[in-house]
Chain A
Amino acid sequence: MTDITESARSYAMRRGWFRFRQSGLSMLGAALVLAVLVIAVIGPWIAPFPEHIAGGVDTANRFRSPSMAHPFGTNELGQDVLSLVLAGTRVSVLAGLGVVLIGTIGGTLVGAVAGFVGGWADEMLMRLADLKLVVPGLILAMAVAAALGPGLMNMVIAIALSWWPGYARLVRGEVIARKEEVYVTAARAMGATPARVLFRHVLPNIVSPIVVKMSLDMGFAILTVASLGFIGIGVRPPTPEWGTLLSVSRSYMPDFWWTAVFPGLAMFTAIFGFNLLGDGLRDVLDPKARR
């Protein structure tokens, strides 16, 4: 029996959760994401050779092919590739989270300012956001990261700089749409501040698209982090990072293929997980976008 007092919202949530569970792909995505997050937290502790993560080398065991002792083989320094891949998860996930969070918060702020203030501030901010469409984000991130120098934080800032416009546009559109609604005018007449309007009336309406976008963007952020690492701008060894691992081991192909293939597969798996999850969430939370 359905509880009569159950609200429409919780009914919708139950139905959404049901639909989400029905879709095997979404569940696979959720499982992958969960695994990635868990490894990001405990990765360094479950790694079979924790000393290699800190930069320790074992030159006697260079380029061992995958075996029981080294499931992913060893690299040119004799380090266990599995340990490096496990430890690299934390860097990628942290960087991805950092980018998405900074992008979301910054984009929301910019969008809210543009929407509430309007006029020339709106015009300026949105033209700035449009520029992002014209310059590929990767090139922008590369330029900023190179200028700021290596390091995880610098890389996160560099990528986040090209990440906010999507969120800004989303929030601005909603602010402008809500600003004219009668109940918002009424709330403001009673002295509600723009911040209150933003948190009470605007953000609740766009939580779903923002969550979907964040999930899909996690995948792309991890991809971008790895891209910078691959180019050679970004986190420097010995900190293990998937893109950097891949770029170093490129020169040892094809004979020592495992040094490149396993970090690459880890990257693909993590990104695929976030994309599957985001796609599944979109089906549930944002049915308009679904066909």
Chain B
Amino acid sequence: MLRFVLRRLMLLVPVMFGLTVMMFIIARLLPGDPVGLAAGPNATQAEIAAYARDFGLDQPVWVQYGRYLWGLLHGDLGVSIFSRRPVLADLIAYLPATMELVFAAMALAVGLGIPAGLAAAVWRNRWPDYASRVAALAAISMPRFFLGLLLQLTFAMWLFWLPLGGRFPIILEPPPTVTGFLTLDALFAGDWEAFVTACRHLALPAIAMCLSPLATIMRMMRASTIEVLQQDYVMTARALGLPPRLIVFKYVAKNAVSATLTVIGLYFGWLLGGTVLVETVFDWPGIGLYATSAIVSQDFMPVIGVALVIGLMFMLVNLLVDVLYGVINPKVRYT
């Protein structure tokens, strides 16, 4: 298993390399005038040239790329033209917020989607199943940013139950950083009040994010449960007098979950990309918001950095899923 993990980690290298090439092509070969944008509308030619020299943008593309790769090997992801801060530092600052949001959404999606899918399969072709199918299609069709706005409108602006946006009030002292996840850090610090505050800020964005993966996981879980229910061993379990509840919740559920797991891994990347919209709506200080502002100002070093981080996270999570899959399904051999 260690060898399996190592081999998969080795695969990361060519993918990351390909990513940098692709992003560089987009960033440098397409029209656009990042320097002019950064220098501002009143900048003189000389100022713009100086700006370009500062960031090495006067060099040919392959020289720029070579320098970028060289920097990457030394853990340097370049410098943002706009903020003039190193991209790596920004990413380290913004990534935990995004990861917390993604994990919260994923936890909701898995926690609700798996039982819902199981229920839809058990009541197959009866009204709960039909209702869940319509609901799932509606959930997938709902734009996340529109759902976010509706949630804000309802729960923050009309009912005043939850905060409108942000991650933690500026006036309050955040818990000491351990994991970077405010909810966990607050728990570690034993600060109950901070925990509740963090959860209240997390709630709406997480709900807005989780709906679509929830629907997909539910449909997937339904399909795999139906398949498992038709297996011989379920018939045997019934014939030998195991109670139906035990059969469904223990035996069938475990087999069906292992088939659903792979989807969860694939959805993770989708969620990471989707944070862009939700973070914009809820003013959530993560890499999505960071990427958006960088893209709008054609500040490409941060964009490449975000793409790399998301790609890395995606591959690591899928590796984790594959390992988990082996734990649930003992027949899988790591090769």
Contacts and interface: CB of A to CB of B under 8 A. Distances in A.
B217 interface: no
A25 to B, nearest CB: 7
Give the interface size bracket for B toward A.
35 or more
Contacts of A267: 143, 146
Interface in A25-40: 25
Contacts of A261: 150, 153
A268 interface: yes
B19 interface: yes
B158 A254 contact: yes
A263 B30 CA distance: 32
B30 A144 contact: yes
A164 interface: no
B303 to A, nearest CB: 5
Interface stretch (A106-114, A170-178, A187-195, A223-231): A223-231
B26 A147 contact: yes
A227 B141 contact: no
Contact of B292 (A133, A231, A272): A231
Contact of A143 (B23, B149, B274, B315): B23
Contact of A139 (B27, B227, B291): B291
Contacts, number: 142
Contacts of A143: 23, 26-27, 295, 300, 303, 307
Give the interface size bracket for A toward B.
35 or more
A131 interface: yes
Contact of B149 (A130, A146, A250, A272): A250
Interface in A254-291: 254, 257, 260-261, 264, 267-268, 271-272, 275-276, 279, 291
Nearest to A289: B223
A134 B311 contact: yes
Choose among B141, B152, B227 the residue with the greatest number of A CB atoms under 10 Å from its CB: B141
A38 B277 CA distance: 30
Interface string B4-16: 0000000000010
Interface in B285-325: 291-292, 295-296, 298, 300, 303, 306-307, 310-311, 314-315
Interface stretch (B58-66, B104-112, B132-140, B200-208): B132-140
Contacts of B137: 25, 272, 275-276, 279
A148 B30 contact: yes
